[in-house]
Structure 1
Amino acid sequence: MRIPLTGGAYSARSLIADAQRCINLYPEQNPQDATAPTTHYPTPGLTLVSTPPVSGECRAIYTATNGQRYDVVGQNVYAVSASNVYTPIGILSSDSGPVSIIDNATYAFLVDGTTSGYTIDITKNEMQVCNDPAFYGSDRVDYVDGYFVFNQPGTQHFYISKYNDITFDSLDIASKSTYADNLVSVAVMHRELWLFGEQTTEVWYNTGASDFTFGRMPGVYIEHGCAAKHSIAKIDLALFWLSKDLQGQGIVFAGRNYAAERISTHALEAEFATYSTIEDAIGFSYLQGGHAFYVLTFPTANKTWCFDAATGQWHQRAYLADDGTLGRHRMNCHSFNAGRNLVGDFETGNVYALDPNNYTDNGAAIERIRSFPHISGSDGNRVMFRQFVADMEVGNGLSDDSAPPEIRLRWSDDRGASWGNWVVGSLGKAGEYLTSIQYQRLGYARDRVFELSWSVPVKTALNGAWVDVSRART
């Protein structure tokens, strides 16, 4: 029988329900007349683009409206040329944590969560400290209708710059007012302001009033706030964030049409509940190959999860360390620049391109893992597994390989609680497109979970598998 893989990662709170891991693979739905309903493709590798003069956390990559790229590494702010020459233009007072940047075609505004703010003349690459007494610091800056918009950390207030300017009027300030929680962050979507509080969210719009140009959208009130101020990201017509409200926290929502739609799963929410903190979560989005991805990293938990808006499925992104363990992905921030999805390394400050044609992370192997659904007898009795055949793209081995690239299979006969040893198969040498990945005489079980794993730097794709099972003799 064919065992299709129609979804993404789902390791339930109880593994007897589901024990499907999906690491460094993402599903894509096929046309109705395809041989398999879904194909799993490898996540993109990391191709090195540039290395900063001083190593440190890449806190932001930003491409201005004139095409100029800016990188923030540790305390250092750089203007980076098209030939990847780093020119230092300023120093921040802080040295860690996400940095937010946006521009108005003349000046970029930079905030880092402190009371300090910075402006960059993007025509001259000159950076200045904002000394305006009506600037109060911010965790995030956005831009709409000619105004820079900021939250005032630790308060209910948000404020704006003067129109098409980087100066401020002390009267241009307002408060999130429908509930007494503090304002966590601000974001712009559809020329409207979303004010994310600790427990609730409001939407404001440009009313054109002479005293303060923004006012609250009548009748719009969202009963979900934000648990992680840096988790907010925008994809097309939706805002994504990790939530917190009066009833709890740890659900991922997409804000559309003035409503919050839950996009996380019970399995993922149970996973989040095991983390010691979720307040440090970092989110960003990018588009590639017709897929819109929302990437959510938990630095303390050392995990990275990714939501594919095209399919509504989650998968895990992971980096294979030298000791063989899987941790958070290297990417810490993102910018689309010169036709490339650029990401910054959370540790070294290196900038990479997310490259679907690179099957390594800057030379390091990428471990790809996919677990299958439970397979059991219809009456609860043992069944015999005669054969497992992986339905995969093969024959793309490196031409100079002396041996074909390996793929590994293991299985659990206790419903995902423990696993046996890996059994090695072949993905075929270069040109061996008819290679059949077969594993024979696999024993008996009442309930079995299979899992495939490979890390070879070659093109692959996974449709699922065929499994030959029969009822065991009593």
Structure 2
Amino acid sequence: MPDSKPVGSVATIDGSFLLSVGGAQQFYWIRPGETDPDPLSFASGERTPDAIVSIAVVSDEVWLIGKSGTEVWQTTGDQNAPYIRISGRVYSDGCADPATVCTTSYNGLPCLLWVTNKKGVMIAQGSPQRISTKSVESQLSGTTNIRAWAFRWNLHDFYAVTHDNGTLVYDLTTQTWSTWDTYGLPVWAAHLGIQVDEQIYAGDISQGIIWKLEDGYLDEPDLPIVRELSGFIGIADNGYPCDSVNVRMNVGWPPSYTATPLLELRWSDDYGFSWSPYFQAPLGRKGQYEYDVTFRSLGMMQRPGREFEFRFSDKAKFRIDYATLNEA
């Protein structure tokens, strides 16, 4: 870099490298065939008066994401001034940490995601849109050491954000948030990673290990995989009976003919302050694909309603489609 300036972030577009200067508004470019930027091959952010935290490319647009704002540039085809800011494409959301900036796909088209300086989460495919909920922003508020990565798995696109106290994962396909963690840890051990074609590699947060994320495994090495799913049913009056909860899910898929996996259910009538014990229901043996999974005689529900939480930790395929209350 000219004058030994530090490189803050790197992106590529049309065979050229774009390098932002750490702690500054400038970025340089390296044309195809060159190895170092020319001292005159630079431009500066114009509308956001702060340093570029990260530079990213989405389709044919160059995004300069600063500490407190973002502006979008485009190519010009002019060798002397190859990049120019797009008029009207300036946004007030900056970036909390360059390690949260990721590119992935949404509805089959490229998009950009990052955690903002306000601890929200944005997705940009054209104009930025907020995808974080109040709950997600509350968890991110006050946290440090935030990082994220994106990957595509089982036809779903995921954006995984790890902070000091947990890992929040956004499913772009279903537009829902969930919490992932590794058994015995407050966070998901795969805190950073990369996808090369169909293969997903992840770095372990506490060990010098690179993991492969693959289908077909029903547990982690020496650790169980625990899946938890919750839902709330609101009621207007006290004394509403909870005769049964029927769960429509994949049954008959244990790994052997002798295993009988169990689904667990507990509930709370005070927004999660206190919980019932776990109740268990079998999922049937291998080949029993029509097995009925029902929890019965669950007492009376009180206003404002009941929170149900399902838990599954056996070595078997697991998918819940839906659940019904008091189904005849």
State the match for 1:332 in structure 2. 191
Is the CA contact (8 Å cut-off) linking 2:11 and 2:55 kept in structure 1? yes
Larger RCO (CA under 8 A, 6+ residues apart):
1
- Out of 268, 277, 290, the position equivalent to 2:143 is 277
Q: Secondary structure at the match of 1:365?
A: coil
Counterpart of 2:215, as a letter, is P
Shift of the 423–146 alpha-carbon distance from structure 1 to 2, 3 Å rule, reads: same
- Normalization by structure 2: what TM-score? 0.90
TM-score normalized by structure 1? 0.64
Structure 2 residue identity aligned to 1:422: Y
Structure 2 residue runs without a partner (length 5+): none
% same residue: 27
State the AA in 1 paired with 2:249. Answer: M
1:398 and 1:429 in contact (8 A); partners too: no
Q: Does 1:317 align with 2:180?
A: yes
- The aligned runs of 1:407-422 (5 Å cut-off) are 407-422=263-278
**1:239 and 1:183 mapped to 2: Cα distance?**
16
Q: 2:73 aligns with which of 192, 204, 229?
A: 204
Report how far residue 186 of structure 1 moved: 0.4
Paired residue total: 322
Structure 1 stretch displaced more, 231-240 or 163-172: 163-172
Quote the Cα distance in structure 1 between the aligned partners of 2:187 and 2:201.
17
Q: By how many angstroms is 1:172 displaced?
A: 1.9
- Residue 307 of structure 1 aligns to a residue whose secondary structure is strand
Partner of 1:370: 229
Q: Does 1:190 align with 2:59?
A: yes
1:206 to 1:426, Cα distance in 2 relative to 1, 3 A: same
How far has the Cα of 1:363 moved from its partner?
A: 4.2
Structure 1 position 260 matched with structure 2 position 123: no
Alpha-carbon distance in 2 for matches of 1:427, 1:139: 53
Change (3 A) 1:168 1:254: same
Structure 1: state its 5+ residue gaps: 1-131
* SS of aligned partner of 1:226: coil
Q: Pick closer, same or farther for the CA change 1:255–1:135 going to 2, 3 Å.
A: farther
The 8 Å contact of residues 147 and 165 in structure 1, kept in 2 or not, is answered as no
Give distance in 1, aligned partners of 2:232 and 2:277: 19
Task: Give yes or no for the alignment of 1:223 onto 2:92.
Answer: yes
The amino acid of 1:288's aligned partner reads W
Residue 179 to residue 314, structure 1, CA distance change in 2 (3 Å): same
| Contact in 1 for aligned 2:9/2:21 (Cα 8 Å) | no
Matched residue, 1:304: 167
- 2:245 aligned residue (383, 388, 398): 388
User: Matched residues in 1 for 2:257 and 2:3: separation?
Assistant: 64
Contact 1:135/1:168 (<8 A) preserved: no
Aligned equivalents of 1:288 and 1:184: distance in 2?
Answer: 29
C-alpha distance after superposition, 1:142-161 (max 9, x if no partner): 11123211121112222222
Counterpart of 2:170, as a letter, is: F
- Equivalent residue, structure 2, for 1:36: none
Q: Deviations over 1:269-293 (max 9, x none)?
A: 22323xx324x22122112333222
Where 1:140 maps in the other structure, the secondary structure is strand
Give the deviation of 1:210 after TM superposition.
Answer: 4.2
SS in 2 for 1:269: helix
- 1:77-114 alpha-carbon deviations (Å, 9 max, x no partner): xxxxxxxxxxxxxxxxxxxxxxxxxxxxxxxxxxxxxx
| Equivalent AA in structure 1 for residue 114 of structure 2 | W
The CA deviation at 1:441 is 1.4
- Residue type at the aligned position of 1:374: I
Q: Which runs of 4+ in 1 moved over 4 A?
A: 132-135
Q: Deviations over 1:224-275 (max 9, x none)?
A: 111121111112321111112xxxx011111122x111111222222323xx
**Structure 2 partner of 1:142:** 11
* Among candidates 133, 146, 158, match of residue 293 of structure 1: 158
CA contact (8 A) 2:9 2:53 kept: no
